[in-house]
A and B are shown apart, each in its own frame.
Chain A
Amino acid sequence: MASEPNSVQDVADGLRSVGYLPGESTALVSYLATKLGKPVLVEGPAGVGKTELAKALAKYLGRELVRLQCYEGLDEAKALYEWNYRKQLLRIQTEAGDAGWDAVQDDIFGEEFLLERPLLTAISSERPVVLLIDEIDKTDQEFEAMLLELLSDFQISIPELGRVEARTHPVVLLTSNNSRELTEALKRRCLYLWLDYPDLEHELEIVRMHSPELSETISRKLVEVVQMVRELDLKKPPSIAESIDWARALLLLGASDIDQETFRATMSVIVKHRTDLDTVAERVGVKLEPARAA
């Protein structure tokens, strides 16, 4: 596996080789990120492959993926580090009074008693990693502020230990579903990548890559239908992952064509909402040919 890409084309080919078909700007931004060592902020609707991109990058670069899933109320203790105070207490209790105070004090704030959380893991790893901070928009602004030191200098300050500086440069990806505006300070430190639903040809290529056994005509029809469904005003438009799932489902069923009946039977793979199902059946289902009498 090539560890250091030398051109945008390298990255594009590399990602392709691990099963991710990057759009033009995706490959470019990934390349810049590995070269410049800047974090990338990836935004876009749910299910366009933001998290997949991080996984694919890690695979292609041959690095470990460290993932921090964000949620409301995430704090330093869960994201950065925490003192293992149970262990510290045990340590104190096992000292039967004869050890000097200084020795104990130095001891219990050593790295042995540090619980590494994802961010610290990524920073202190011996080998370069890919750090994925997933759904950053779910956290509070306070947490974002805390990330700033990490993202611009790749270091973390621990009061008792001092500064932990990155030994290697991780590739950092932050993803956001755009559920709230991120702070300017954070954005300024990142490269920006907007991922949108792929166009027809691109998605067709993706589907083909994941289920090559499906016949050409069905794949094309499938992608056309999915694109049609996305244009409706749905609660949750189908993602790329769901197109792929659908392709697999059709393959398993041995469908030879997507007609009204097959569509009705399998559309729950791509549409996951009660009200959406009705809309889709009404607006898209009728456009397909009725099932041929066998």
Chain B
Amino acid sequence: MSGEQVDFDAQLVAFAEDLRSEGVAVGTSELLDAFLALELVAWSSPAEFRETLATTIAKSPDDRRLFDLVFDRFFFRATELQAVRLDVSEPQTRVGGDEVDLDELRRQIAQALEEGGESDLRDLARLAIAAFGKGQGSGVLGVDVQRIRRALGLRTEPQPDLPPEDPRRDGISRDQLRRFEQALRRELERAQIERNQALPPKRALTDMDRSLPGGPVQDLAAVHRVVAQLRRRLASQGRELRGHNRHAQVDVRATMRASLQTGGVPVQLKYRPKRPRRPELFVLCDVSTSVTSASTFFLSILHALHDVFRKQRSFVFIERISEVTEVFNRERDFRAAAAAIARDAGVADVSGYTDYGRVWSEFLTEIEDELHPRATVIVLGDARTNGRPPREDLFAAITARAGRTFWLNPEPRLYWNYGDSVIAAYAQYCEAFECWRTDQLEEFVKALTRPAGPTGPRS
């Protein structure tokens, strides 16, 4: 946005660049589509303009949410920059001195919010700023927004001491309040830009902005990105698969078809195409209280892995194990899956303390026949046994049967083997990783996609 002229095409490219910097993959072809599509709609209508861009650029609900955030930020800044450059200023909304009944105004704003359309919000925000926000700006937008909100007496929880006809009595809907706060913030920012005659530095989106309202703050999209990378690595890795044609299966239909060329005599045998072999995964995930903070992260890894690997069996455990493969196959939405697991996984949560020994023995009986050297076992847990026997002999039996075994520990390496953590007992049979951030997850992905080395005890 550095050109003197308002160059629409350049703006759009800059917008795409902005989107990319926030992690939405915008391809050149998609941008071209956007240009083509924009020629067809009356882009003087803001809603159509936005929808057209969205349909060509943002291709998943997650992307769409980011798109909306970036769209607002980008075009707000672009407009303001232009306004500063052309020296346009907004007419000030004035509220005439003391004769206005502030209580009445509060009530009216709440009323309008309740009924509110999108377009009114802006006017309401201005009115609110003019009436309640003058003079004492703290300079920090977030603080001012909250101060004004409080001055208006807007809350989500019910306020029973207000008169019954007051719309604030039952509490303002959280959604509406959030939108109003956004409008407030925007208007305050606009005023600030007008005063300073310059744009403040761009504020990158935080994890808070990205996450769904009410969802976990941790960036699920980031986990999914890392796992998608994992999938690509695995897909391009089929080297050891080639030259394995001895056990190919004859495709009868194709052979018949081919035999037509030789008058019905099957001269040329056709084989079923070899599908690239995908590794089989067994994932065990600790959901006990000692890993509460990490379990959302873990479940999201589990969830992302399920998207990638068709042949995956997942288990959660506390004292005992419980298979949740079905849940993940059924629930696409992460939050729904997490809730379903909490509801009906039935992990026999009697004491809430992990019993690794029991988990291993149950896992072995359930899965023993299916473990084979191509299988990979991944354990997500903190290896805190609560003083119960770790039974590393059983764990060793598992690792001996499986091709490879990985352990992801949500605790920093510093705390390993302190207290009741017995990770060392297990680490001699598997590769243990410290994993509580997405970049550490990437380390793990690298290890997982490394061609399988010699099996056997590692340290």
From B275, which residue of chain A is reached at the shortest CB distance? A142
Enumerate 6 A-B pairs (CB-CB under 8 Å) in ascending A order: A8-B41, A8-B48, A25-B54, A108-B260, A192-B58, A192-B59
CB–CB A180/B307 < 8 A? yes
Binding site for A on B (CB under 8 A): 25, 27, 29-30, 33, 36-37, 40-42, 47-48, 51-52, 54-56, 58-61, 64, 224, 228, 253, 256-257, 260-261, 263-264, 275, 307, 332, 336, 339
A32 to B60, CA, bound (A): 18
Given contact pairs A105-B261, A194-B64, A28 touches B48 in the complex (Cβ within 8 A): yes
A7 to B257, CA, bound (A): 50
Q: Is A50 an interface residue (CB 8 A)?
A: no
CB–CB B55/A25 < 8 A? yes
A192 to B30, CA, bound (A): 11
A28 to B253, CA, bound (A): 45
CB–CB B37/A32 < 8 A? yes
CB–CB A36/B40 < 8 A? yes
CB–CB A36/B55 < 8 A? no
From B228, which residue of chain A is reached at the shortest CB distance? A181
Contact of A92 (CB < 8 Å), options: B37, B51, B264: B264
CB–CB B55/A192 < 8 A? yes
B57 to chain A, nearest CB (A): 8
CB–CB B27/A188 < 8 A? yes
CB–CB A85/B55 < 8 A? no
CB–CB B41/A32 < 8 A? yes
CB–CB A85/B56 < 8 A? no
Q: Is A287 an interface residue (CB 8 A)?
A: no
Q: Is A24 an interface residue (CB 8 A)?
A: yes
B59 CB contacts on chain A under 8 angstroms: 41, 187-188, 190, 192
Contact of B40 (CB < 8 Å), options: A32, A41, A85, A105: A32
A81 to chain B, nearest CB (A): 12
CB–CB B51/A85 < 8 A? no
A237 to B228, CA, bound (A): 30
A204 to B224, CA, bound (A): 37
Q: Is A143 an interface residue (CB 8 A)?
A: no
Per-residue contact bits, chain A 41-60, to B (CB 8 Å; 1 contact, 0 not): 10100000000000000000
Contact of A36 (CB < 8 Å), options: B37, B228, B253, B336: B37
CB–CB B256/A85 < 8 A? yes
Q: Is A179 an interface residue (CB 8 A)?
A: yes
CB–CB A28/B41 < 8 A? yes
A43 to B55, CA, bound (A): 12
From B26, which residue of chain A is reached at the shortest CB distance? A188
A30 to chain B, nearest CB (A): 10
Q: Is A233 an interface residue (CB 8 A)?
A: yes
Query: Interface size for chain A: under 10, 10 to 19, 20 to 34, or 35 or more residues?
Result: 35 or more
Q: Is A96 an interface residue (CB 8 A)?
A: no
Q: Is A98 an interface residue (CB 8 A)?
A: no
Q: Is A184 an interface residue (CB 8 A)?
A: yes
Q: Is the interface of A mostly helix, strand, loop or mixed?
A: helix
Per-residue contact bits, chain A 3-44, to B (CB 8 Å; 1 contact, 0 not): 000011000000000000000110011011001101001010
A89 CB contacts on chain B under 8 angstroms: 260, 264
Per-residue contact bits, chain A 81-103, to B (CB 8 Å; 1 contact, 0 not): 00101001100100000000000
CB–CB B51/A25 < 8 A? yes
A41 CB contacts on chain B under 8 angstroms: 59
Q: Is A114 an interface residue (CB 8 A)?
A: no
Q: Is A191 an interface residue (CB 8 A)?
A: yes
A8 CB contacts on chain B under 8 angstroms: 41, 48
A180 CB contacts on chain B under 8 angstroms: 307, 332
CB–CB B332/A191 < 8 A? no
A184 to B228, CA, bound (A): 11
B392 to chain A, nearest CB (A): 37
| 8 closest cross-chain pairs (CB), A and B | A187-B59, A192-B59, A25-B51, A191-B55, A35-B40, A29-B55, A28-B51, A178-B332
Given contact pairs A31-B40, A92-B263, A85 touches B52 in the complex (Cβ within 8 A): no
Q: Is A251 an interface residue (CB 8 A)?
A: no
Contact of B36 (CB < 8 Å), options: A36, A77, A189, A190: A36
A270 to B220, CA, bound (A): 33
From B30, which residue of chain A is reached at the shortest CB distance? A188
CB–CB B47/A36 < 8 A? no
B165 to chain A, nearest CB (A): 22
B275 CB contacts on chain A under 8 angstroms: 142
B60 CB contacts on chain A under 8 angstroms: 43, 181, 187, 192
Q: Is A193 an interface residue (CB 8 A)?
A: yes
A181 CB contacts on chain B under 8 angstroms: 60, 224, 228, 307
A142 CB contacts on chain B under 8 angstroms: 275
A15 to B51, CA, bound (A): 19
A101 to chain B, nearest CB (A): 9
A25 CB contacts on chain B under 8 angstroms: 51, 54-55
A225 to B320, CA, bound (A): 41
Select the residue from B55, B60, B64 with max chain A CB neighbours within 10 A: B55
B47 CB contacts on chain A under 8 angstroms: 24
A105 to B40, CA, bound (A): 49
Contact of A28 (CB < 8 Å), options: B27, B29, B52: B52
CB–CB B56/A191 < 8 A? yes
CB–CB A38/B48 < 8 A? no
From B27, which residue of chain A is reached at the shortest CB distance? A188
A77 to chain B, nearest CB (A): 8
Select the residue from B29, B36, B60, B339 with max chain A CB neighbours within 10 A: B60
CB–CB B264/A36 < 8 A? no
Q: 8 other contacts beyond A108-B260, A194-B64, with CB at 8 A cut-off?
A: A32-B55, A32-B56, A190-B59, A191-B55, A192-B55, A192-B56, A192-B58, A194-B61
Per-residue contact bits, chain A 169-208, to B (CB 8 Å; 1 contact, 0 not): 0000000011111001001111111100000000000000
A191 to B58, CA, bound (A): 9
A67 to B334, CA, bound (A): 31
